[in-house]
Structure 1
Amino acid sequence: MTNNVFAVPTVDVSPYLEDPSDANAARRVAVAAQLDRACREVGFIQIVGHGVDHATIDGFASALDEFFALDDVTKARYRGPSGSNRGYTPPKSASLSMSLGIPPANMRNDFYEAFTIGREVDDYPHLDLPEGTYPRNLWPAEAPSFPAAVARYNEAVTAVSRAILWAFADALGVGRPFFESLIDHSIDTLKMNNYALPEMSFDVAEELIGMGAHTDFGILTVLWADRVAGLQILDKEGTWHDVMPDPGAFLVNLGDAMARWTNDQWLSTIHRVNPPIVQGRVQRRRSAAFFLDGNYDGVIEPIATFVTDGEELYPPITVEENIKAKIAGIELGKKPANADREANRVLAARSAG
């Protein structure tokens, strides 16, 4: 917030991706301070200086087009098992608002379609990890450019997420070792989304839900998105605001783990996607969210320096337990514990005038 005007802060994170020597220390201190303020006031940050080149992003966007242009029968072959968070998710098969225990309006599920990849058990060969938590990826043979382009982008944005996390460590004063011990076998996933419906396939008088109101589950999210209206975030005063990335920028937001570690001094901001309807048709919108979730057995509990008068807002929980509780809400309609505060904020929210 600046003079009571809502804005998502823009931060150049290049000092954390360039020279790691002490010669760059002052620039890193400035970046960490900017991030600390943004995380306390908004919970969303626009990131520039991230170092991901245009060719990687353009190739990735083309790969999304290639896959989502396939027919429904072909895409359905790549649906992953329930709870696996892998492969294809067709429209209207999930409701993200149920991760907060909020039923969708008119009982309509979110209309977006998605494809998800993530870290596999083989990515950590030195560890005995549960394959159900680190499942195999599904790669569509009918979209030949998709695997390589997606993998290239995924590795690039993974590096960005780590750089931002090291900046967060400095901002919080906990040092890198605190987070290094929590991400050395991180669950990291990349969810690629496509928002579009055939013309006049819905009743425009009803509320249309692109992606229901929710918080993200892990540590932080790095979002690439088309410059198309739709993304909205809920401020601390209970008002929804439209957010759109600048050309070439990423949007970064905090997840539940960071809010729990900081005892809610940093914000896991509620957000949703509610795309515009133009002449009876949803305008095309693509996005891709990289989730840095942390080790499945990492414990999330308030850091002692963020606890005032012994008041811990959250009980300890593992990364996997938190994720499973949210997914159970999305897929099974089971309300997660400790979601009432966020649910009440969404139900009382209003749009910006």
Structure 2
Amino acid sequence: MPAQTIPAVAHYECAPETKEDIEYAAVPIIDFTNAHTPEGRGELAPQVRDAMRTHGFMCLVNHGVTQAQNDRMTDIADVPFSSVPAGEQAQFASRTKELGELQGYKPRGSWHLDNGVRDQIQHYMVVHPVFEQQHPKALHPFLPEIHAFMEHNQFNIIYPILRMLALGLELPEETFVDLHPFEAKGTTLHEEEAKTKNVWMKGHTDTGSITLLWSQPVVALQIMSPDGKWRYVRHVPNSIIVNAGDTMEMLSGGFYKATIHRVVQPPRDQRGHTRLSHFYFAYADADVRLVPCAESSVLQRVGITRKCRDEDAPTMRTYRTMRASMYGNSEVERKDNGVEEQVVGGVVVKHYN
């Protein structure tokens, strides 16, 4: 985590918590205190397995980052937006549409939502290795802290989760860890700011294996519950919302569910506030082919659900870059139930508008 001598940064004042009566989703809360020992993971593995199989979502507490350290990262997450002039931001714009690259700024209005409406989400992506990426000058003093934060996410949170997901499939504990080296391109810290009305980001599943969303007070995240109804995710201070993505669903043969989620307008008493968030996206190594771990005795008992034939399965690199370049930029086929479909690398990807 951050070194003892750290540069000063302006404090970001988060929005007050909502006081409105809201119907929240049932998200399992997992105490991560003992997740770093084989015995602790063995005890937690059934909880993690059931959470990610039934809900595809869970909430982590006692994850090794203090509230003060979390607040510090929130302050740093605001730097790319509050301390970098628009002209300098343009110099670090991502080339997502052209090349499927995620690093740098995604400007507002990059994605088409519906009926000519463009998004109002801005984010800044930091891609490992942090020090090889070009960054705005204002962010340079904080790169060591960002790197340390990414390491903590990968080694102390992502890897224990991957180990427990492997145990849930009765696979060797390191099965998924071996597919997710920290050196893999595509591991990102995502900092987001959004100001708009109604749906901010339509229903979707994430591309990677596991997404970590460090909870913040603006209640705007909704998940599609098992009964098909959209429900808000409750803010738990200093917690992490964890969800599975398409990659984990494909690697697990459909056993773990890629969670359908969206971002919408918050409750009335939070409207007008910025939703500033920091995320961590974990991807498999670029050359990993996204086929089920068919050697799992669990999958041999319950069966495998594939998104495509094994011989047609894309690599992580192909799937990640194609999804990044196509989202909000290409034609979709709209079904009668409002679901939109795209074919990405031979895999049908659905959006819930």
What interval of TM-score do these two structures reach, taking the shorter chain for normalisation? 0.7 to 0.9
1:105 equivalenced with 2:114 (yes/no): yes
Give 1:54 shift.
2.9
Q: 2:76 aligned to 63, 68, 71, which one?
A: 63
Q: Which runs of 5+ in 1 are unaligned?
A: 96-103, 124-135, 198-206, 348-353
TM-score by length of 1: 0.78
Give 1:139 shift.
1.6
Distance 1:287 1:239 in 2: 24
Over residues 42-89 of structure 1, what are the superposed CA-to-partner deviations in whole Å (9 max), with x where a residue is unaligned? 000001121123343222111122221133223222213342211111
Secondary structure of 2:74's partner?
Answer: helix
AA aligned to 1:169 is A
- Indicate conservation of the 8 Å contact 1:112/1:196, yes or no: yes
Identical amino acids, percent of aligned pairs = 24
- 1:226 matched residue in structure 2: 216
- Indicate conservation of the 8 Å contact 1:186/1:292, yes or no: no
- 1:192 matched residue in structure 2: 191
1:259 equivalenced with 2:236 (yes/no): no
Structure 2 CA distance for partners of 1:76 and 1:270, relative to 1, 3 Å:
same
AA aligned to 1:62 is D
Distance 2:304 2:237 in 1: 44
- 1:177 matched residue in structure 2: 174
Distance 2:305 2:47 in 1: 27
TM-score by length of 2: 0.78
- 1:342 matched residue in structure 2: 350
AA aligned to 1:342 is K
Distance 1:309 1:279 in 2: 47
Distance 1:322 1:261 in 2: 13
Give 1:208 shift.
3.3
- 1:98 matched residue in structure 2: none
- 1:101 matched residue in structure 2: none
AA aligned to 1:45 is M
Distance 2:101 2:79 in 1: 23
Secondary structure of 1:153's partner?
Answer: helix
Secondary structure of 1:154's partner?
Answer: helix
- Indicate conservation of the 8 Å contact 2:41/2:160, yes or no: no
- Indicate conservation of the 8 Å contact 1:275/1:282, yes or no: no
- 1:268 matched residue in structure 2: 258
Secondary structure of 1:325's partner?
Answer: helix
Q: Counterparts in 2 of 1:126-165, with a 5 A limit?
A: 136-159=132-155, 160-165=157-162
Deviates more, 1:247-256 or 1:152-161: 152-161
Distance 2:133 2:233 in 1: 31
Q: Counterparts in 2 of 1:300-339, with a 5 A limit?
A: 300-304=290-294, 305=296, 306=299, 312-315=306-309, 316-330=313-327, 332-333=329-330, 335-337=342-344
1:92 equivalenced with 2:106 (yes/no): no
Give 1:263 shift.
2.3
Q: Which runs of 5+ in 2 are unaligned?
A: 1-23, 332-341
Secondary structure of 2:276's partner?
Answer: strand
Deviates more, 1:46-55 or 1:252-261: 46-55
Distance 1:265 1:178 in 2: 15
- 1:11 matched residue in structure 2: 30
Q: 1:29 aligned to 42, 46, 58, which one?
A: 42
Secondary structure of 2:149's partner?
Answer: helix
Secondary structure of 2:198's partner?
Answer: coil
Over residues 158-190 of structure 1, what are the superposed CA-to-partner deviations in whole Å (9 max), with x where a residue is unaligned? 221112111212222111332233123423112
Between Structure 1 and Structure 2, how many residues are aligned?
A: 305
- Indicate conservation of the 8 Å contact 1:56/1:149, yes or no: no
- Indicate conservation of the 8 Å contact 2:191/2:277, yes or no: yes
AA aligned to 2:258 is S
- Indicate conservation of the 8 Å contact 2:209/2:284, yes or no: yes
Distance 2:330 2:176 in 1: 32
Give 1:277 shift.
7.0
